[in-house]
Amino acid sequence: MRRRRLPATALAVLALVTAGGCASSPPPPPPQTRAGHPERGAQLIAQYGCGSCHTIPGIDRADGLVGPPLTRFGARSYIAGKLPNSDDNLRRWISDPQAVVPGNAMPNLGIDQIDAQDIAAYLYTLD
């Protein structure tokens, strides 16, 4: 029996389909319940000035272009392209981003764990 050879374009498409994208494993499922107070989180986002670097839906004058837009944050798989998007990881990122990814553009703002929890609660409403 003679084997047929696939055209180069078909091989390229096959390679892309079987590669499965950027991540080597599927993203974790989002938790069903979230801790924190989203309304307070929105106030804290404005107070800490997060909108000077990020575009954040629902926050007045949050139209910064330094950091990524936080639109649909709750539907994202990863935080900072490194951490699976979970409550604990987001609080850690908000509280001390330099410990997670040293030298990144997000400054440590002295956000404590309670404020980070409420900010995370707001961001998870953006899906």
* pLDDT at 23 (0 to 100): 52
CA distance 111 to 106: 12
pTM: 0.74
* pLDDT at 101 (0 to 100): 93
* pLDDT digits (tens), the chain, 127 positions: 555 554 554 444 444 444 445 555 555 555 445 789 999 999 999 999 999 999 999 999 999 999 999 999 999 999 999 999 999 999 999 999 999 999 999 999 999 999 999 999 999 999 8
> DSSP assignment of 18-63, as one string?
HHTSS-SSPPPPPPS---S-HHHHHHHHHHHTGGGTSB-TTSTT-B
Q: Which domains, and CATH codes, for the chain?
A: 35-123 (1.10.760.10)
